[in-house]
Structure 1
Amino acid sequence: MNERRKFSRILFDTRANLDQPPQSWVTRILDLSLNGALVEEPRNFAPLGDRLTLSFTLPESDIELQMEAEIIHRKLGLLGLKCLHIDVESISHLRRMLELNLGDANLLYRELERFIEEHEQAADNS
């Protein structure tokens, strides 16, 4: 099998919200990476387009992370989300969480550099 994944994922099970005003849905995150998330498709999910906001609170804290995301696949009751934009505070918390779970800071720094490069290229092409 040809592995196309560029970013390491961690299993992460927590409640989250998908927002696309005026609509909002409750979901569960199944895994996370610097570049997106895999979530359960919410009941009655009927977005108007592929862009939405994913938000969740870190377990046992009041720290909320938000990312603007795009649905890149929708299969078997799951949604694959690609991060389009994430604020500095959210990515800092996400990076720390990934670092603790991956156990390889060097790998995470390489992925963070790749994430920044890809998002700068996307911004330049806009």
Structure 2
Amino acid sequence: MSEQRRNYSRIAFDCPARLSLGESQLELRVLDLSLRGALVRLPGDAVVRPGTVAELRISLDRDGTEIRMQSRVAHADGRHAGLACQSIDLDSVSHLRRLVELNLGDPELLQRELSALLNE
């Protein structure tokens, strides 16, 4: 198991999202999220390759609130792909932080993870 997986709690978060891979767009499902990435379920015909740069967009409500994460495909296995966060804007990280905080139920654990993220 990688050091990254040990340092960041993943939360189950089943929701639709869009992944931009250059000129192509994929509609997919987010299965879980962390401060450092996401696990997604790809549509049946999609092929993604590790190392590919992508933008993940997760819509949080009907008002247009979303998480936008610049990422890299860390691994792909069948219909599942792991995305490693490369950068994220301040609004998106605020939304993501709140989601993680609500799902972890442990503010101290969240603070430790945020500190580790900032010290990387």
Structure 1 length normalisation: TM-score?
Answer: 0.84
Q: Which amino acid in the other structure matches residue 104 of structure 1? A: D
Distance 2:35 2:27 in 1: 21
Residue equivalent to 1:89: 91
Ranges in structure 1 where 5+ consecutive residues have no aligned partner = 119-126
What pairs up with 1:46-125 in 2 under 5 angstroms?
46-47=47-48, 50-59=52-61, 62-118=64-120
Alignment check: 8 A CA contact 1:14 1:59 kept = no
Q: CA deviation at 1:76?
A: 3.2
Greater than 6 Å deviation, 4+ residue runs: none
Structure 2 length normalisation: TM-score?
Answer: 0.88
Q: CA deviation at 1:32?
A: 0.4
The Cα offsets for residues 16-37 of structure 1, whole Å up to 9 and x where unpaired, read as 0000231111000000000000
SS of structure 2 residue aligned to 1:8? coil
Q: CA RMSD in A?
A: 1.9
SS of structure 1 residue aligned to 2:119? helix
Ranges in structure 2 where 5+ consecutive residues have no aligned partner = none
Q: Rate the CA distance shift 1:61–1:99 in 2: closer, same or farther, 3 A.
A: farther
Distance 1:100 1:10 in 2: 10
Q: How much identity, in percent, do the aligned residues show?
A: 41
